[in-house]
Amino acid sequence: MSITRFRFEDLRVYQSALVFVSRVYAIIKIWPPLYKFSLADQFQRAALSIPLNIAEGSGRTTKDFQHFLAVARGLCYECIAILSVAKNEKLVSESEYLKVYEEVGILAKTLTALRSSVSHVPSK
């Protein structure tokens, strides 16, 4: 039996977002209980919402898809702010901070590029 894939599943940015979610889960797994239900929860929800917005938006009109991509990009920025707090609280090392910062930065740039390219596609 062959499973039909959804279009968004083939998007490189969607695949990258899934990898990013896994990275965030691995990071917060070892945080002390003090941060589990505040910073960790917010980090997890923001990261998870990135691929969710890509998926949901892909099934909408072109204009709506652009909006969902912009929301996903905003969530990348939210992750950067959370990551900065985590670094300040010594929850992540400087090297881990830089690695994740770069990863989320690339994700945000890719979302921007996709949003721009989608603008040249006629609306549904």
What are the boundaries of each domain within the chain? 8-118
What would the pLDDT profile of 104-116 be if each residue is shown by its tens digit? Answer: 999 999 999 999 9
Rounded (10°) CA dihedral 83, 50, 12, 95: 10
pLDDT for 2: 77
DSSP string for residues in 44-71 = HHHHHHHHHHHHHHHTS-HHHHHHHHHH
What would you report as the CA-atom Rg of the chain, rounded to the nearest whole angstrom? Answer: 16
Are the CB atoms for 107 and 24 separated by under 8 Å? Answer: no
pLDDT for 121: 58
The model's pTM is 0.92
pLDDT for 94: 97
8-118: what fold? de novo design (two linked rop proteins) (1.20.1440)
**Within the chain, which residues score under 50 in pLDDT?**
124
pLDDT for 119: 77
Q: Which residue carries 């690339």 as its tokens?
A: 106
